[in-house]
Amino acid sequence: MSKSIYSIITGTGCYIPTERIKNEDFLVNEFYESNGEKIQKTNEEIIHKFSEITTIKERLYVSDDLVTSDIAFFAAQDAIERASIDKEGLDYIIVAHNFGDVKAGTNRTEMVPSLAARVKYKLGIENPGCVAYDIAFGCPGWLQGIIQADYFIKSGDAKKILVIGADTLSRISDVHDRDSMIYADGAGATILEAKESETPVGILAHQTRSDTIEYSQMLYMDKSYKPSNEPSEDLFLKMNGRKLYQYALENVPQAIKSCLEKSNTHLHDVKKVLIHQANGKMDEAILKRLYKLYDIKDVPEYTMPMTISWMGNSSVATIPTLLDLILKGELESHSIEKKESIVFASVGAGMNINALSYKMP
């Protein structure tokens, strides 16, 4: 039987920020509606409703001395060490992010040089054949980077690729917008390597879609919700949460199903569904609707690991961080064993959706 080339994960790493921000820390905030009117509810009411909808009780922020490329570097070091590879042998470094490096005390972004170039420099990689570039794809950016890496590997262009997802959303959040309580910081990294196999292993299939005509403005940049007489050019991340929720619920389950069908994998055979940690209730609803597509009424326990309640939404970092914690045995009640099938999925700004089917080697 002839062998084919597959992309397998050989190492993972992450950086867990040190600043733990609890819901109670937002009691001192002044929250406004998008029209500039002060919300006529107590902060206790606002925060309780927020927690009820999102399941978030805490989120993690980076310390003031760090920027996104720093934590991307820390996660990369971790993944390289766990993969036991020579960093000079990397063919590509792909860094998914959305806002570049944003220093404490400002929300100005630094995008030049690319974060991938900064990470390569921090790693001390001299090999010019290691190509470093960034990808901006909203929250699904890390997963899209993995998909691109798979194409490089299967084309024969690469054998070892480092894919990182990192963001510091706390630096571009409007403290007067209640949605700011969703956002968090973090970084996750993954090493993909080429493997010859007679049977399908590693990345089996993927599915991506972009819906821009009706949905491109569901995540956008705009001024603070708090009215001010002082002119400001500062822009903050904004979200149409209700429309986003409905869009995700209608389209993410079908994208996952299409991906699994491409890989000839039935949902019954999937051990874990690793989904972007955007909103706890939304992710639960997506999972239920996915199983409904297969006429399965009861979702098996422990199918979807969740970290959002204590880590918040760290955008591109949520899935690689989640994967790393599971593989290191640091997420209670969750493990992934050899030969088991898992599926990844994400949704975010664009609007973009992607899914990927993977079989553990």
For residues 156 and 147, the answer to whether their CB atoms sit within 8 Å is: no
Looking at the fold, whether 120 and 175 belong to one and the same domain comes out as: yes
Task: Decide which of 197, 230, 259 is a domain's last residue.
Answer: 197
Does residue 337 sit in the same domain as residue 231? Answer: yes
Q: What is the pLDDT along the chain (361 residues), one digit of tens a residue?
A: 688 999 999 999 999 999 999 999 999 999 999 999 999 999 999 999 999 999 999 999 999 999 999 999 999 999 999 999 999 999 999 999 999 999 998 888 999 999 999 999 999 999 999 999 999 999 999 999 999 999 999 999 999 999 999 999 999 999 999 999 999 999 999 999 999 999 999 999 999 999 999 999 989 999 999 988 677 888 999 999 889 999 999 999 999 999 999 999 999 999 999 999 999 999 999 999 999 999 998 899 899 999 999 999 999 999 999 999 999 999 988 999 999 999 999 999 999 999 999 999 9
Helix 241-262 and helix 280-293, axial crossing angle in degrees, nearest 10: 40
The pLDDT value recorded for residue 344 is 98
The token pair that represents 283 in the structure block = 């992710």
**Shared domain check, 84 and 28:** yes
Residues 91 and 177 in one domain: yes
Q: 30: domain range?
A: 4-197
Overall number of domains in the chain: 2
Strand, helix or coil for residue 28: helix
The sign of the dihedral angle between the CA atoms of 167, 173, 175, 176 is negative
What pLDDT was estimated at residue 1? 64
Same domain, 241 and 355: yes
Residue 243 CA, chain-centre distance (Å), reads: 20
In three-state secondary structure terms, 34 is: coil
Amino acid, res. 36: G
* Alpha carbon of residue 221 to chain centroid: 19
CB 146, CB 163: distance < 8 Å? yes
So what's the pLDDT on residue 231?
74
Same domain? 232 vs 192: no
Same domain membership, residue 219 and residue 151: no
| Domain boundary residue, one of 172, 197, 222 | 197
The structure tokens listed for 265 are: 């994998």
Same domain flag for 138 and 247? no
Same domain, 310 and 339: yes
With b meaning 16 or more CB within 10 Å and e meaning fewer, what string describes 235-254?
bbbbbbbeebbebbeebbbb
The domain boundary residue, chosen from 133, 163, 197:
197
331: CATH? 3.40.47.10
Residues 220, 184: Cα–Cα separation, whole Å: 17
- Rounded Cα–Cα distance for residues 107 and 170 (Å): 9
**Do 149 and 230 belong together in one domain?**
no
Q: Do 153 and 302 belong together in one domain? A: no
Residue 347 sits at the vertex; the CA angle it makes with 120 and 328, to the nearest 5 degrees, is: 55
Based on the fold, state whether residues 62 and 147 are members of the same structural domain: yes
pLDDT for position 228: 83
